[in-house]
Amino acid sequence: MPSSPAPNKESCNPMTAPLSRPVDGYKIAVLDGDGIGPEVMQAARQVLTATGIIFQWESVSAGAAGIALYGKAMPDESLAMIKAAHASLKGPTSTPIGHGHTSANVALRKALSLYANLRPVQSLPGVPTRYEGVDLVIVRENTEDLYAGLEHVVVPGVVVGMKVITETASLRIAEFAFQHAVKHGRRRVTAVHKANIMKLADGLFLNCCRRVATKYPSVSYDEVIVDALCMQLVKDPTRFDTLVLENLYGDIVSDLCAGLVGGLGVVPGANIGEDCAVFEAVHGSAPDIAGKNIANPTAILLSSCMMLEFLNEPEAAKQVRRAIDEVYSKTRIRTPDLGGTATTDVFTNAVIDQVKRYVQEAASAS
Ligand code: ATP
């Protein structure tokens, strides 16, 4: 079993945030989403409220609710509310496979130019997996690639899907990855590609990463072909540090990496743009377990920690993270995805109890 030093817990790369705590609280756009979304989002709101910080929750329709109300999975009205908020917390929205409406996520990321999808993948104490000390950062380009949705039927039986890679978006995501690495003291950025086959598209992406790498001599830089990366990650994930990927590779590699640390229930994420940030778990709407009160809220709780850091509330973020670590390392409370029998509510309440304890301790120490 590979091992390495304990992961250093870290945050997203704040691009924009209020300068100080607003007197009437942070305005947070809340998108409950579909499937297990409402259950895990309720858990997130409860845990965030336990920090004692004031939040104004503004409910925003997206996914099935957006279609029911406005006929769109990501309505313009919702986008306006997200833009006006200090930050947004989003549950998963489902997209029908092979037919039906287009993805609310893709629409959201494109409309608000949330170009960077940041996904820290870290081992949790007390969650036994095949690997120890996993501490990866996935930086996924969020706005182009095959997700441009440009597909057409040339003749019956022949479909063309366009992979769009631009210099602007590739330079921007590479900059984000290196800036994040510098800010968080990470040692290496690895660009992931398939430029041996897609010589023009992935060649351009790689070329942009190389150009940006020359500006950051303190961070090592290397490259790996995406299929080789998957094999190497499964053999020893501790060989890697920060990965920068195009949209599709980023999507696939994120789920693979989630599997290294216990599954989709424990990996958080953030979608970050120049003037907007939306925090959401890596997992989808998991319709198979929706409504059963057994979804693991850890992923959205850790996404909430990233949001707290973005809002310049590092103490509260630490308290929530510590509370999650405490529940995993000191109790046997686990949701079924991690082999336990606890409900979403039981796990959430255990985290809330810890958060309240830390908040009280901090208050009596000051
Ligand atoms: P979607 O179509 O919205 O992507 P999906 O079910 O295809 O939904 P995910 O939601 O990502 O994809 O989930 C894949 C599997 O992982 C599901 O079968 C689900 O049981 C499990 N899973 C995902 N998220 C969680 C969670 N938070 N807690 C427990 N299990 C989860």
Cα–Cα dist 352/190, whole Å: 37
Cα–Cα dist 263/272, whole Å: 23
With a 6 Å cutoff on the Cβ, whether 301 touches ligand 1 is no
**Coil, helix or strand at residue 189:** strand
- Test site for ligand 1: of 105, 257, 264, most ligand atoms within 8 A of the Cβ: 264
pLDDT of residue 11: 36
Dig out the tokens for 254 from the structure. Answer: 């994120």
Cα–Cα dist 212/144, whole Å: 19
With a 6 Å cutoff on the Cβ, whether 296 touches ligand 1 is yes
- Test site for ligand 1: of 283, 301, 302, most ligand atoms within 8 A of the Cβ: 283
With a 6 Å cutoff on the Cβ, whether 224 touches ligand 1 is no
Tell me if residue 135 is catalytic: no
Give the pLDDT means over successive 10-residue stretches in the chain (366 positions).
35 54 92 94 98 96 84 88 94 74 80 94 92 96 88 95 96 98 96 96 98 98 98 97 98 95 95 92 94 97 97 96 97 96 98 97 89
pLDDT of residue 3: 36
With a 6 Å cutoff on the Cβ, whether 264 touches ligand 1 is yes
Cα–Cα dist 320/308, whole Å: 10
Is the pTM above the cut of 0.95?
Answer: no
What one-letter code names the amino acid at 196?
Answer: N
97 CA: nearest ligand 1 atom? 2
Span from the CA of 282 to the centroid of ligand 1 (angstroms): 9
Residue 277 phi/psi, 5-degree rounding, is: -145, 135
Q: Which spans in the chain are helix H?
A: 37-50, 64-70, 76-84, 104-111, 167-183, 201-213, 226-235, 247-260, 298-310, 314-330, 344-365
pLDDT of residue 98: 65
| DSSP-assigned letter for residue 147 | G
**Protein residue whose Cα sits closest to atom 6 of ligand 1:** 286
pLDDT of residue 5: 34
Span from the CA of 116 to the centroid of ligand 1 (angstroms): 22
Cα–Cα dist 37/18, whole Å: 27
User: Got the DSSP string for 322-349?
Assistant: HHHHHHHHH-----GGGT----HHHHHH
Tell me if residue 318 is catalytic: no
pLDDT of residue 229: 98
**Protein residue whose Cα sits closest to atom 19 of ligand 1:** 286
